[in-house]
Amino acid sequence: MKHDRFHGRVNNSRRPCDWPGCGEPGEFRAPGERAPGFDGPGNYRWFCLDHIREFNAGYDWFDGMTSEEIQAAQSPIHGWDRQTRAFSPTAGIDEVPRWADFADPLEAIAARARMRRPTQRPDGRAVTPDERRALDALGLPLDADRRALRLRYSELVHRLHPDRNGGDRSHEQRLQDVIAAYQLLRKASAFA
């Protein structure tokens, strides 16, 4: 692939040069009379190499600007001095909401707020996301101990197991979730 030494050249252009009286092909694009704006992208003029050089030599980017606008455009931080909203990793939730302020029947906000709970137990031990989900499945707080884990597991198994609840098999999936959560948590270092 051959590289052209003139950046922006359109080789083999069939457009004629827009300079009055020039018959060369217009291979270089230049801004037209109508600038880009609300009404569209604007238009362009096409010039040959000699005439694009002449056009560029007389082009004034600051044409029509006040001295204050020119000074601002020449500032080294031009474009970086705007106030923008800082993005937080919480994606819109700054703190746990006050539940008295709204009704949340689908728990859309409550679910996001629950995710912001600390990932560390009060004793300093880290809790993995899987362990957090297991605690939620059992309905236990983050600072639950091994005794609370066994008591809650026993209570849920007695309530959900078909042999204990009169043969009601509608809670089998919930029972499987409780058993899986207990198996995960009983082996976790936080409950050792």
Instruction: For residue range 100-139, list pLDDT tens digits in order.
Output: 566 667 777 667 666 665 577 777 787 888 888 899 899 9
**What local confidence, expressed as pLDDT, does residue 152 receive?**
93
State mean pLDDT over 29-54.
82
Q: Classify domain 107-191 by CATH number.
A: 1.10.287.110
Domain segments of the chain: what residues? 1-63, 107-191
Annotate 39-68 with b (16+ C-beta within 10 A) or e (fewer): eeeeebbbbbeebbeebeeeeeeeeeeeee
pTM of this structure? 0.39
Residue 99 scores a pLDDT above 60: no
Give the SS3 label for residue 100: helix
**pLDDT band of 76, cuts 50, 70, 90:** confident
> How many other CB atoms are found less than 10 A from the CB of residue 137?
18
Q: What is the pLDDT of residues 77-89, one digit of tens each?
A: 776 666 655 555 5
